[in-house]
Amino acid sequence: MAAIPRSASVEPRTNEGAELLDESFLRRLRALSLVSRRTPFGAAGGLRRAHGRGPGSEFADYREYSSGDDYRHVDWKAYARSERLLVRQHVPEVELAVYLLLDCSASMASGEPAKLDHARTLTAALAYLGLARFDRVTIYPIRDRLAGSFAPQRGPQALRGVSSFLRTLEASGPTDLARSARELCARSRRAGLVILLSDLYDPSGVVSALDVLRQARFEASLIRIVDASELAPRWLGELELVDAESGRTRSLSVTPELIEAYGLARRRETEALARACGERAVPLHLVDTRVRPEDALLGLLRRGGLVR
């Protein structure tokens, strides 16, 4: 349950008018790129190497000419030296379909800074990494289903539109990650890299959503956004907790012993999630909102599995 004390006030916040990525952050991003373990072959136009040989700009090897080959690919200088018709082959350059799923449910409004504020900056940075490589980037806000989208874009010039779109998003409603995953699979013509940014406050959990994506041959990465008050609550005494998404309430007496038991349960839940992701080859990254987004992203680089 994504819970807050009755006395606490959590209001949706936006970054209207704020720059999500400043110039110093962009300079650090320019040296990075998103990592896909299964770069698709055949979607031409990006700056990403595919597996195999095909049309492209980077020379890879020669092969013997065979009937039907395009004469424009024959290396005539090599023919003058060896009197053999050799066709130049290149590493094909392909675009990766990148889908950024940003949790905009009500629980993402909590925290200081708000988890949604932190996550939207990370989303903008990840979008830039894809756009700079001319990958095809789509952003889907998710709640209990896909909530509209930022239409697929290519090229770094689209970053301004990404920032404007993300600044309009507010946290509201419940979470259903599996339903959102099913709708993504139904809408997308191409499988690709899915990066889910969420606090994972879904009563059904995230594992079923990962299985949906896996069965549809999407490659998934998971970024869990956490707030310090969730990791180590400091509330004590008689409290009435309110679920941020369902509105359900629970009265309880919070003691140091209960806080300790909560911490143990939280660690076990995190360990179970890590095992489930490991079994499915899904990189799992925990991002604390106390860590600046640029430092968090570089931390993903150091741990590997998402950016390089």
pLDDT at 11: 42
Instruction: Summarize pLDDT for 57-74 with one digit per residue, the tens.
Output: 455 566 777 776 777 778
Q: How many CB atoms lie within 10 A of CB 302?
A: 7
Residue 104 has pLDDT above 60, yes or no: yes
Q: What is the CATH number of domain 14-39+96-303?
A: 3.40.50.410
57 vs 132: CA distance, rounded Å: 18
Amino acid 26: pLDDT: 84
Please, which residues have CB within 8 angstroms of residue 270's CB and are 6 or more apart in sequence?
Answer: 286
Cα separation of the two ends of the chain: 35
Helix residue ranges per DSSP H, the chain: 23-29, 76-82, 115-132, 159-167, 177-187, 207-215, 228-231, 256-279, 293-303
Domain boundaries, the chain: 14-39+96-303, 53-91
Residue 9 has what pLDDT? 38
**Residue 22 DSSP class:** -
pLDDT in tens, 3-61: 554 434 344 444 433 368 888 888 888 777 676 555 443 344 444 444 444 444 455 56
Tens of pLDDT, residue by residue over 131-176, are 888 889 999 999 999 988 888 888 888 888 999 999 999 999 999 9
Quote the percentage of the chain above a pLDDT of 90.
48
Backbone Cα Rg of the chain: 23
pLDDT, tens digit, 9 for 90 and up, residues 227-279: 988 888 888 999 998 998 988 999 999 999 999 999 999 999 999 999 999 99
Phi and psi angles of residue 137, each rounded to the nearest 5 degrees, phi first: -105, 130
Average pLDDT, the chain: 82
d(CA 102, CA 83): 58
Tell which wins on pLDDT, 151 or 116. 116
CA angle 131, 115, 143 (to 5 degrees): 75
Contacting residues for 127 by C-beta, under 8 A, at least 6 apart? 98, 100, 137, 139, 159, 162
